Amino acid sequence: MTVEIRVAEGDDVLRALAPIGHYFGSAGPLAAERWQNVTSVLPEGRTLAALEGDVIVGGAGAFGFDLTIPGGPVPAAGVTVVGVLPTHRRRGVMRELMRAQLDAVHERGEPLAVLWASEGGIYGRFGYGLASLTGDVDIQRAHAAYARPLEWSGEARLVPLDEALGPLQAVYDRVAAETPGMFSRSREWWRARLLVDPEWRRFGGGEKACTVLEVDGRPEAYALYRVNFGFEDGVSAGVTHVIEAVGASPAATAAVWRFLLDVDWMDRVKASLLPLDHPLLLLVEDVPRLGFRVGDGVWVRLVDVGAALAARSYAAEGDLVLAVGDGFCPWNDARFTLDGSKTTAPADLRLDVDALGSAFLGGFTVGQLARAGRVKELTAGAVERADALFRTERAPWTPEIF
């Protein structure tokens, strides 16, 4: 089989989404409408199509982000809509797509690529490392009391989606600037993905609602959620489904979650994609009632190891020499100091690029990776020093699957 990888243009962009759409059931007549939240914000020239003759059998896209890492934002490729038709699996199509995409990301000068994996076993062989974990909660309102009284002097107001862009972006940008794993959202992104509510995306739930919490007229927190009404045997069985809740301060975060946990007529509150250090774990009185369940988060690929290390800040003084193995992007297969320079000095640690991706945002420590056999200590004490250097104050958080 001969497969050609080329940039999709015009109508071929939607055709390149058909392979992944096959698995999501969105490859038919309604595909154009249902992929609008992707196609309207995919930059031109960043969708790849794999063709066998005239037939597109695979595709992959990449958004252009500024991703927050320890130290500030860096350009990153937000990899998305990667798929190969089941008729062409196990023929190397995915590998060719990843080859072309990572080469293009490298040429663009983006030091990182980041993605959500529908199947976690796929991307390690292309140098991606699991870089964060997320938490889901499912709590009954009756067991959602806080351990301490809430101190909050602000006000909450319901905001129509078509008026929500300003206050939501103001809060989000403040939090994203200091939280590893969060990425920049353009106005177009907000309008296409967060502030729309087509019926087919409700999955039988209620309309998307928006509440903004303010102090002296300044937005400090917001929540996007659905109130899914229901009664069983005369008793409320409704669920408040939290899509995204963000607070710009600890007090605002506590207040917006108190609002969500107190919505009348609801029996339960459910949320997903929360960071592992979410304040709810210490706010609520009866922690086991949260039903906090851990799942995988984003995967990070250091496309340019030197540039990525140079862009990152470190929590302690000192340096390390990292012997990085990278069989898929050979320009990274070298020894690096933390300022991003290549060196011939003896290495302190040896690790593959996927393990470095796992540690890069602070989601996993070097010590954890070493205990899992993913990092080899070559100089005594190097793992401990690496943990001090790569330590972060916040767990990485990416609140949206893209």
CA distance 337 to 359: 15
Spatial CB neighbours of 238, under 8 Å, sequence gap ≥ 6: 227, 228, 229, 230, 231, 265, 266, 267, 268
CA distance 321 to 298: 26
23 backbone φψ class: left, alpha, beta (φ>0; ψ -120 to 50): alpha
CA distance 111 to 378: 26
Q: Is 193 exposed, middle or buried (0-12, 13-18, 19+ CB in 10 A)?
A: middle
Give the DSSP letter string of 19-60.
HHHHHHT--STTHHHHTHHHHTTSPTT-EEEEEETTEEEEEE
Q: What residues are paired with 351 via a beta bridge?
A: 324, 375
Confirm whether 123 is a catalytic residue.
yes
Q: What residues are paired with 302 via a beta bridge?
A: 112
Looking at residue 352, the DSSP 8-state letter turns out to be E
- CA-closest candidate to residue 101, choices 366, 328, 388, 338: 328
Amino acid identity of 130? L
Spatial CB neighbours of 332, under 8 Å, sequence gap ≥ 6: 302, 303, 304, 305, 306, 324, 326, 353
Catalytic residue among 65, 128, 360, 402: 402
Catalytic residue among 123, 128, 172, 222: 123
Computed over its alpha carbons, how large is the radius of gyration of the chain? Answer: 22
Cα–Cα–Cα angle for 314, 175, 66, nearest 5°?
65
| Catalytic residue numbers, as ranges | 123, 402
